[in-house]
Structure 1
Amino acid sequence: MFKMLRQKLRSMYSLRKLMSVLITIAMIITVVITNALSREDAKEQIEELFDAQMLQTAKVLELFYVNQFTQTKVEQLALQPIKLHVHATDVETFAEQSTALNLMYEHKLSFQLLNSMGDLLVYSDSSGDKPLTSFTQGYELRNIDDVSWHVFSYFSQAHKVWIVTAQSEDVRKELLEKMMSNAWTVPLIVTPIVLLILLLITYSLFKPLKALEASLLSRTPQDLSSLHIDLPSELVPVQDAINDYLSRISQAMQRERRFSADAAHELKTPLAIVKLHHDGLQEVLNEVPESLAPQLHDAHIHLNAIDQGVERMSHMVEQLLLLSRVDALNALNLAPTRVGELIETSINQLITIITDYEWQINIADDLTVNVDPFYMALVCKNLIENACKYSPKESIICIDAAEVNGQIVLRFSDNGKGMTDTQILRAKERFYRVDENANQGAGLGLSICQHIVSLHCGTIHLHSNLPNGLTVVVSLPIAPKTIGRA
C-alpha cells in the first residue's frame, strides 16, 4: 500500500507544482503568523487606549463634578442619587450609523460616583444600581450580571468620593475583531492574485525545460548529435551532461557497428574456405563406388549439417554487412516509385520459395510513393521472406497497399503461428528471435527494416491475426522531405 502511494506521489512529482505549493504554504504561514502577532499588538494597543480613556474620564468627572460637592451635597445624594439615563439603541457595530442623540456604544459605557460607605451618589443606568468597583484603586475586570466590565476605580481624598468608570468587554472585542477582519480581507484578495502571477512566472521560467523536452522528443533514435539550446545558466550543466551522454552512446554504437562490420568481413573468408572444402569433399564422396555408400552414410549427414551451418552463418554475415551499411547511411536517393513495382522486384528475388504459397496481391497500378527504390525493395523482400519462412506451405499470403490519410500503407499478412504481445514488443530488437524459430535467421531482418523505414519518416507495426498469422503494416509518407542524418 505504501509502495503504491509512493509511486503515485512520484508520478505526480513536479518542480513547478511543488514550488507553487511550497510558496503558497509559506504565504499562508506568513499571513497566519503576521495576523497572530498583529492581533496581540492590536489587543495591547486597544487595552492601553481604552484604559487611558477611562482614566481621563475619571479625572474629568473629578474636575467638573466632584469638585462641586459639599459635605451636605454628598449626604443628600446618598439618600437620593442622581441617575443618568442612557437611551436604548439598536446601533451595535461600527458599520451602523449613529447620530448625536443615538451614540454608538453609549449603553456599553458607564460611570459611578460613590461615597466612602459605598452608597451611589451619581451613576449611569447602563450598568444598573450595583457598585461596579471592588473599592480598590486601579484597573480590574469584573463580572456583573454575566457581563464582563473593564473597571477603573479612583478615590478622591479631598472629597472622600469614589470615582468609577467602566466599559463593557464587548466594545474591545468587537473593535479587535473588526480590525482583524480587515487584516484577513487583504491577504484573501491578494493571495489568489499573487498565485496567478506566480503561475505565470513559473510557466515562463520553465519554458527552457519544455524546449529541452521538445528537442529530445522530436529526435529520431539515430540522431545522437549534440543539443544546442539557449538555456539559463542553471540548466547549462544539464545540457552538457546530456551532450556528453549522447556522445558516449554515439561512440559506443560506432564501436559496435565497426565490430559487426569487421567481424562480418573477417568471417566471409573462413566461411568461403569451409564452403569450398565442403563442396570438394562432397564431390569426392559422390565419386565413391555405390558398394561403399552405406559406410559413408554418416559422412553425408555431417556434410549436410556443415552445409546448413555454413548457409546460416553466411546469411548472418550478409545481414551484418547490410546492417553496417544501413547504419552508415547518410542520405537516401528518393524517387517516385510505383508500389507494385517494389513488390514485383522483391518477389522476383525470391522466386525459389514463392511457388510454395498462394498469393493475394491487391495494389493499384498508379499507386506511387517517393522512396529510395533499392532500400525500400530490400524492406519488402525481407518482409515477404519472413512471411514465407514462418507460414505453412500452400497457405495464403496477402499483400495490399492503399493511400490512407496522406500516407501509403502496405500490409503483409500471413497465416503462420503469429506472435504473442511480448514477442511483438521485442520483434524489432537486434538479434531477437522467436524461441520456436531460433534456428532460423539472425534476428536482424526487422531491425534493418525498421531503420530503413524510419529514414523514410515512416513506421512499422506488427499485429497478431486471429486465430492465426501476423500482419506487418508499413506506413510511408507519400512525399517525404529529403532525408539525411543529422
Structure 2
Amino acid sequence: MINRSLRVRVATFLLIPMAAVAGALGVGGSWFVDTFVTNTFDRTLGGSVLSIAERLTILDGQITVSIPAAAFGMLSNSERDSIFYSVTAENLFITGYEDLPQPKQLPHPNTLVYRDTVYRGQPVRIGMMLKPIYVTQHMALVQVAETTNGRNRLASRMLTALTALGVALASIGSLLVWLAVRIGLNPLDKLRTEIEIRRGAAHKPIAPFPLAGVPSEALPLVSAWNDLLAQLNRSMQVLRQFTADASHQLRTPVAILKTHLDLLDRHQPGGSSWRSSRADIDTAVKRLDRLISQLLALASIEDESSSRTLTAEFNLRDIARDVALDFAVIARRQNIELSFDAPESPIIVAAEPFLLDQALRNLLDNAVRYNRSGGHVHVGVQIEAAATGSKTAKLYVEDDGPGIPEGQRELAFERFHRIERAGDPSGSGLGLAIVRAFIARANGTVSLLSRPGGQGLRVEITLAIASPDRTRSGSDTIAPAVNA
C-alpha cells in the first residue's frame, strides 16, 4: 500500500476546487471579454450607420445621400481596419460597394442589427438599418462593414492579460495553500518529534504527550494516544514486576531441583537416598507450580489494560458452598475439620464470580495449609446491617491455626511477606496479596481480624448487596460440617 503524504492530500483537496473555480472564471472571463469587445466596437459601428442614415434625402424624387467624413472617421483605429458601406432602396443600389452582401432578411425599420460574414476574403462585422423615407414611401437599407482585426486584437490582448492574471493568482493561491498546509500540520511534526524522543524509553514509563498547544482537531487523537500509553505503561510495569518477582522467587526451587537432580545421579535408583531426593524434587515441583500459578494470577489481575471485569449478579452463598466442598477432601487428608454455614435465602451480589472464587480458594488454601492436625476451618456467609439501614454481604474464613500477629496483619497483604515460624510449611507470600487484588477488582474490601473466642484468624470479605429486595435476612442454619 502506497503511503501518501498528508500535506499532499490536504493540498490536493484544496487545489482541485480552486482549479475548478479558476476554470469557471476563465470561461466566464472569456465570455465577458468577447461580449465587452463586441459591444464596444458595435456601438461605434452603429454610430456610423446612424450617421449615414440621417443624411438620406429626396432629390427630384430620387433617394440621395451625402456621406459625412465623421461617419468613417469614428471607425478608424490603430489596426487600420477596412471600412465598406452600401445604401440600397428596394434592391436599387444607390451608393457604396455594390457587391457588399445583402441580408437574407431585412431588419425591422429604424432598428440596428449586426451580423458577421466574409467579404472579399476577410471576416467582417456588418451593421445595418432599414430607414423609412416617408416622403416617397421608400425604405432605404444602410449597411456599414468593418473588418475584425481591431476587435480581435483587443480581445486577444484582454484574454492574454486575464490569463496572466489568472495564472499569477493561481500560483500565489497554490503557494499560500501549500504554506498554510505546512503551517497547519506543524503540530503533527512536533508530535512526531515527541514520539522520537520517547523511542528509547523502553526501560522506564513513557511520558504522556503534552496537551498544551495541541489544536482542537488533533486533541482527541493525542488524548487517545495518551490513554494507550497509560495502558502500555501499566502493562510494562506489570511485566517488569512479574519478571522481578519470578527471578527472585524461582531461584530457590530451581536451585533445589538442580541439587536433587545431581544427587539422583549419584545414588542407586530405588535406594532410600534416591527416594528421599525424589520426594524433595516432587515437593519442589509442586512449590514451583504453585508459585508460578500465583505469579500469573497476580500479574493478570494487576494488568488492568488486558483484564476486563465481567460483572454479574449471583448468589454469594452458592460460590462459598461450592468452594468449601472442593476443599473438603484436602482438609480431610490433613485431619482438619471444615464447616460451612449461610442463610437459607440467597445473598445476591454484583461482582465477577471468578474473582471471588479465586480469592476464597486462596484463603481456604492458607487456612488449611498453615493449620495444625485436628484444627478447624469455618467458612460463612452472612448479612450485616449498618447503622444507616444499608446492608452488606460478609464472606469470612475462620481458622484456629497460629494466626497473624496484629502488628503484621497489614504487612501480610504485601508481596512475598511471610511470617517465619518453626514448623510452618513453605509458601510464596503471595496468597493474601492475590486476595486483596481480586477483592479490590470486585469492588469489595478484605480485613484480617482476630478469631472470636480464641486462637486463630478471621479473614472477612465485605461486598455490597446488589438486590436488597431479593435478599432476606433469615436465621442462620449451620450446614453439616465436613469433618476430617
Structure with the larger helix share: 1
Which structure: larger Rg? 2
**What's the TM-score, normalizing by structure 2?**
0.47
Q: Which of the pair has the greater relative contact order for Cα pairs under 8 Å at 6+ separation?
A: 2
**What's the TM-score, normalizing by structure 1?**
0.47
